[in-house]
Structure 1
């Protein structure tokens, strides 16, 4: 009886929560060209639409079938240009930190212009249409943050990369450099002196590059494409009601977060895996010792790899006692081993959910890593660029992964790494432990994202969640002015006293000299 009452109360609360909020008009802007970034928010947007909200989605990935309450504004992306950018990034990012920053800047400028020059988007900007909420991907595209002020609506930022020192600034979150690693750094949260120094340098480069190079360029876009703008871009970029962050402390690390910065890693994953295609199922089941899955993600394509690298991979796979599913973007692969199944696309999360898939060979991209953690699968990682090195370092430190050098590995090294993870049970045990911690939350990540989104709508921007730092300038926020007074006044007093003592000593010396001269005359 008690159980029935509890269920009834829970259903009543859910019904009240669903019906207490009127349908809202939401503009969702996701300019990044990588499909994995949009996949990570697709369930979130569709769920909002299913709850009666009217979604206008601006992205390069429109819905394949019409969806109720869902309107697409499709960005036209030149795929070959995007692929060239990725290939260039793979080469350049291994050279220096500044090269990495330049690649990021070029990519940001490309995606900013794609959306700002889009004809349908421009018509929307100059229309009389109103929105109750702006949801926007945040990754250094500051000119687009003007949409909240333009439509006079609160803004929610979604960071598909988690947070960093620049994204933290959007809600005045703090990033203690002593134990919060820079995404492009090499060290985890427990660092010695030299590692903390290196982390400080990485942070400084990222902040200076963003404020001295990226923001001025974004300022020009802001002035050109929002001609009626009256506020400074530096103020607009800190006008977010909420940040939804694709991270979680169980896998990342514990760090400070202000009330309107919410961790929602895994919100894109369906908790009930779908059935995988029959041919893939048969190939997995045909391997008595289980199978492994290999993918370099949606941006880095296996088909782009040099011939000698492909040959090393095939040699390694051919020597394995298990079947391999390989995300390969071309229909044919010359010399493909018999135990390898290639396809240009796999339902990755569903594949990783399969009990006979024992290992994930990955580029260590954030979304792939989250799916591996969600399903409790160990990994062999070959990070390619940007934050993937740090992500892989976390997996190694957690004990559920082995890392390889993507730019220089042999078939023997790849085979040995795979066999080490397959045959040593400690990796699977650590993967399951991390997964258990990842799932142990009061709310599922998608439910949390929906709750806080509607919270912002219910409370008209939820200003009560914002810290007061938004109203402080840099000197005030970091207490430079008060510290200057605190230490300046005693220092000034010491200087005055020392000057007084000096003058007294000089006077005494002069007086003594006068007396000595007088005595000599006498």
Structure 2
């Protein structure tokens, strides 16, 4: 059996003709994005490719064929930015805020000393493939033009209109909600109006306010490349986009051939044993089981308002279950005996444990995928961006519920936890979704590696590129055709009306009276 599995693995993942030099750009200060791609990059390195990674979380131990270029500048004012996102904003202000953040990230990469000295100097080095986090950071897509190499994008949250444009994908607004809207694919008329307006506002903000700034940085840091390839052409010429999404995790939708779903790319399929102290605490929970509570890497439990933290503590103290709480301080005043705190938990291994019955989460996509992979129901407390959409999906699918962490009462919090634990349908649905998600011909990581090396083997695989990428807005949406047809129809109506009017003059009552008078 092992021999058959190894043989099939070799068939599924053929080696490239030769090792490639790969530049990966993943500089975001939120660790979850990098956690998602590290196994993928390390696997490429283990297959002989030389990987250079621009990131904010360099490896603590050397990895063969893997070189870090740390961009620690992205952490400047990061906590202030996260807290600022909690302030009420309208859709235009929200887009301005998000674009400002990503402009800062892009600038940090392109002004980094090591990047400038080792990558941006003409003729200094070469790379065969560029891999980037494809999210509002268009200027550093210029590495593809600089090195004359194909480019692959990875989106750790799925896709939106911005990601779609990289490969000419289509997201019908009638049933594909904006990531930040908190809607599902089953929208009412009013929700479709909101989705259309919010998406349109976001697109206009991005196109006319954000992109000009990205174009300035592109021209400044890639002067030779920008003179040869406009950014508007570069960011519509991706060879491949890998999506941290899968239809079994959300809902089915259209993708062009070079948009590949690899949701759960980071998940190990062999859970590791837990540290002894954690394992002993979990085993001591008995039949009641354990609840795991984490707000992810960007939102810190220690920074919750005192009143919210007190509400959570009192709720946990009143439960018969034990609770693992990711808490970023060494001490938690008032911590009850049934709560175990730690600054870090091996989350996938925790969720794989059979005694863990419920995951209370911020609703980040990585956490949502991990909960589905391990078949655990969730209680979502979303804070920002795609978290509202992910919690909405969990509620719609039936493996979770959501609450507003700012307004929930202690009673609501406790009753929702008890409902998720006591009503079997939540755990059963989570198990069903796990079975669907795991039923794939290849693991997400194998899929990502295969398609990456496919792009290398076929020199960019531009044969997968849809023709729509070469069309302007009016031609792409057939506005010119519709306009021509409507104009032609209007012309025909005018001609027919004119002819009928002239005929009526000749044969009408007035013409008969004229003929009688002449007689």
Q: Same fold (TM over 0.5)?
A: yes
**Could you tell me whether the CA contact under 8 Å between 1:59 and 1:75 is conserved in 2?**
yes
SS at match of 2:131: strand
- Any idea what the Cα deviations from partners look like across 1:277-308, whole Å, max 9, x if unmatched? 11111111111111111011100111111111
Cα 1:467–1:306 shift into 2, 3 Å = same
Partner Cα separation in structure 1 for residue 284 and residue 31 of structure 2: 31
Partner Cα separation in structure 2 for residue 510 and residue 232 of structure 1: 68
- Any idea what the Cα deviations from partners look like across 1:349-394, whole Å, max 9, x if unmatched? 1111111111100011111101101111001111111111111011
> Please, which of 136, 143, 146 is the counterpart of residue 147 of structure 1?
143
Superposed displacement of residue 406, structure 1 = 1.5
**Could you tell me whether the CA contact under 8 Å between 2:127 and 2:149 is conserved in 1?**
yes
1:97 lines up with 2:76 in the alignment: no
1:160 lines up with 2:156 in the alignment: yes
| Gap regions ≥5 residues in structure 2 | none
- Any idea what the Cα deviations from partners look like across 1:320-362, whole Å, max 9, x if unmatched? 1011111111111111111111111111111111111111000
C-alpha RMSD over aligned residues: 2.1
Match of 1:24 in 2: 20
Cα 1:361–1:217 shift into 2, 3 Å = same
Superposed displacement of residue 120, structure 1 = 0.6
Match of 1:246 in 2: 244
SS at match of 1:184: helix
Normalising by structure 2, we get a TM-score of: 0.95
Cα 1:8–1:364 shift into 2, 3 Å = closer
Superposed displacement of residue 9, structure 1 = 5.5
Partner Cα separation in structure 2 for residue 45 and residue 469 of structure 1: 31
Partner Cα separation in structure 1 for residue 353 and residue 173 of structure 2: 40
Partner Cα separation in structure 2 for residue 413 and residue 477 of structure 1: 49
> Please, which of 33, 36, 41 is the counterpart of residue 40 of structure 1?
36
Match of 2:280 in 1: 282
Superposed displacement of residue 90, structure 1 = 1.7
**Could you tell me whether the CA contact under 8 Å between 1:293 and 1:357 is conserved in 2?**
yes
Partner Cα separation in structure 2 for residue 4 and residue 451 of structure 1: 21
Partner Cα separation in structure 1 for residue 425 and residue 307 of structure 2: 32
**Could you tell me whether the CA contact under 8 Å between 1:247 and 1:264 is conserved in 2?**
yes
Superposed displacement of residue 77, structure 1 = 3.4
Match of 2:8 in 1: 10
Match of 1:263 in 2: 261
Partner Cα separation in structure 2 for residue 262 and residue 96 of structure 1: 33
- Any idea what the Cα deviations from partners look like across 1:461-507, whole Å, max 9, x if unmatched? 00111111111111111111122223321221112222343455567
Cα 1:504–1:469 shift into 2, 3 Å = same
For 1:486-505, list aligned pairs within 5 A: 486-503=485-502, 505=504
Match of 2:438 in 1: 439
1:216 lines up with 2:212 in the alignment: yes
Match of 1:339 in 2: 338
Superposed displacement of residue 7, structure 1 = 6.2
Match of 1:361 in 2: 360
Superposed displacement of residue 187, structure 1 = 2.2
Match of 1:458 in 2: 457
Moved more, 364-373 or 203-212: 203-212
**Could you tell me whether the CA contact under 8 Å between 2:56 and 2:74 is conserved in 1?**
no
**Could you tell me whether the CA contact under 8 Å between 1:100 and 1:386 is conserved in 2?**
no
| Gap regions ≥5 residues in structure 1 | none
For 1:26-425, list aligned pairs within 5 A: 26-77=22-73, 79=75, 81-92=77-88, 95-123=89-117, 124-126=119-121, 127-228=123-224, 229-230=226-227, 231-288=229-286, 289-425=288-424
Superposed displacement of residue 125, structure 1 = 1.2
**Could you tell me whether the CA contact under 8 Å between 2:273 and 2:349 is conserved in 1?**
yes
Cα 1:327–1:5 shift into 2, 3 Å = closer
Normalising by structure 1, we get a TM-score of: 0.94
**Could you tell me whether the CA contact under 8 Å between 2:376 and 2:427 is conserved in 1?**
yes
How many pairs align?
514
- Any idea what the Cα deviations from partners look like across 1:218-273, whole Å, max 9, x if unmatched? 11111111112122211111110000001010011100001100000001011001
Superposed displacement of residue 157, structure 1 = 0.3
**Could you tell me whether the CA contact under 8 Å between 1:33 and 1:77 is conserved in 2?**
no
Superposed displacement of residue 196, structure 1 = 1.7
SS at match of 2:441: coil
**Could you tell me whether the CA contact under 8 Å between 1:313 and 1:411 is conserved in 2?**
yes
Partner Cα separation in structure 1 for residue 351 and residue 420 of structure 2: 16
Moved more, 449-458 or 487-496: 487-496
Partner Cα separation in structure 1 for residue 126 and residue 84 of structure 2: 40
Superposed displacement of residue 42, structure 1 = 0.4
Partner Cα separation in structure 2 for residue 319 and residue 99 of structure 1: 41
SS at match of 2:60: coil
Partner Cα separation in structure 2 for residue 58 and residue 322 of structure 1: 43
Cα 1:381–1:8 shift into 2, 3 Å = closer
